[in-house]
């Protein structure tokens, strides 16, 4: 699982591209548990924090093997994050 989601060349290229777009150097994690345990949102606020919090889950979710190009996976990840953040905002007042 760690190889599929983090270390295979295709997965690693997705992570590097996302981190580069965010202006952050990709810290290569050893495994998925380490990625999720060390995912840092403490320096972010508001919507940026929410979007960054969703990112690892969206990336892992999109490695289902249907998309053939990095561009299509990147687009799918961004769409997922958009809809998840919209749902989170819509549900924020419900308890």
Which DSSP symbol is given to 42?
T
CA gap 60, 56 in Å, rounded: 6
pTM for this model (two decimals) = 0.78
Give the CA angle between residues 43, 3, 42 to the nearest 5°: 5
CA gap 77, 59 in Å, rounded: 6
Check pLDDT > 80 for residue 65.
Answer: no
Could you tell me the residue range of the domain that residue 35 belongs to? 1-93
pLDDT tens per residue, range 16-56: 998 898 888 888 899 999 999 988 877 778 778 888 888 99
Sign for the CA dihedral angle at 16, 19, 22, 24 comes to negative
Q: Return phi, psi of residue 64, to 5°.
A: -100, -5
Task: Tally the domains of the chain.
Answer: 1
Check pLDDT > 80 for residue 93.
Answer: no
């Amino acid at each position: 699982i760690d190889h599929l989601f983090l270390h295979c060349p295709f997965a690693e290229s997705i992570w590097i591209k996302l981190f580069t777009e965010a202006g952050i150097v990709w810290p290569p994690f050893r495994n998925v548990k380490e990625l999720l345990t060390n995912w840092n949102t403490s320096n972010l606020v508001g919507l940026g924090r929410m979007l960054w919090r969703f990112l690892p889950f969206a990336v892992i979710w999109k490695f289902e093997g249907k998309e053939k190009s990095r561009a299509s996976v990147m687009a799918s990840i961004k769409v997922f994050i958009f809809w998840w953040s919209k749902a989170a905002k819509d549900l924020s007042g419900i308890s």
